[in-house]
Chains A and B, each alone.
Chain A
Amino acid sequence: GAVVSQHPSRVICKSGTSVKIECRSLDFQATTMFWYRQFPKQSLMLMATSNEGSKATYEQGVEKDKFLINHASLTLSTLTVTSAHPEDSSFYICSAGGGGVVTQYFGPGTRLTVL
């Protein structure tokens, strides 16, 4: 299957700082990328849908000014958590798909800890 990478895999930051997470599709062009958030022992919740070259579509309750998403190319999407707070600590997972392909491929996730 296709490979999707995320960087970094783990990040610890101080409250008030911003953190950028990268999601890359390594061997295919992803017209659409999705960002999910997973709290401990819970399911994945969709945060936003990112289409290459256009603004992301955010799910209800997700602050677009806090979670900035950029999808500048067909192989890269970034999620920036701005002014992070401890309640933003979570496991962030991206997936990539599109181009008529139903299957999405998931990145390994990024564990964010805000102190």
Chain B
Amino acid sequence: AQSVTQLDSHVSVSEGTPVLLRCNYSSSYSPSLFWYVQHPNKGLQLLLKYTSAATLVKGINGFEAEFKKSETSFHLTKPSAHMSDAAEYFCVVSDPNQAGTALIFGKGTTLSVSS
């Protein structure tokens, strides 16, 4: 069975400082991994995805994540936080070998950005 663990339920940073949101996954095969962001009262937006190509994945809004198989991790980073980055972030896993497979969501990490 697949699962994801987001290690921090809440992360607080100052504007302009780096962001690190941690995610570990468990899967019996090479999974597809995603990071989604959810702003208050808005829908989910895909930040980036890993699907067995390059292990360093660049996403929108300056975010990137690195797939590390040896550590079973897919941490999300951004060099410099912006106030607009404050939101809920979900690490997600799916089975790439089955088209149309349901996504498994982590519990989410709330990112707060202070000025």
Contacts and interface: CB of A to CB of B under 8 A. Distances in A.
Q: Do A and B bind each other?
A: yes
Interface of A: 1, 31-32, 34, 36, 42-46, 49, 51, 93, 95, 97-109
B32 interface: yes
B51 interface: yes
Contacts of B63: none
B96 A102 contact: yes
Interface residues of B, number: 22
Contacts of A108: 42-43
Most chain B beta carbons < 10 A, residue from A44, A103, A107 = A44
Contacts of B36: 106
In order of increasing CB-CB distance, the 4 nearest A-B pairs are: A32-B100, A98-B100, A108-B43, A106-B44
B24 to A, nearest CB: 15
A101 B99 contact: yes
Contacts of A32: 99-100
Most chain A C-beta atoms within 10 Å of own C-beta, residue among B36, B51, B105: B105
Nearest to B6: A43
Nearest to A47: B102
Interface of B: 32, 34, 36, 42-46, 49, 51, 90, 94, 96, 99-100, 102-108
Given A43-B90, A93-B44, A108-B42, A102 B102 contact: no
B100 A1 contact: no
Contacts of A31: 99-100
A26 to B, nearest CB: 13
Contacts of B32: 102
Contact of A42 (B44, B102, B107): B107
Nearest to B90: A43
25 contacts: A1-B46, A31-B99, A34-B102, A34-B103, A43-B90, A43-B105, A43-B107, A44-B90, A44-B105, A45-B105, A93-B44, A97-B99, A98-B100, A101-B99, A102-B49, A102-B94, A103-B46, A104-B103, A105-B46, A106-B36, A106-B45, A107-B43, A108-B42, A108-B43, A109-B43
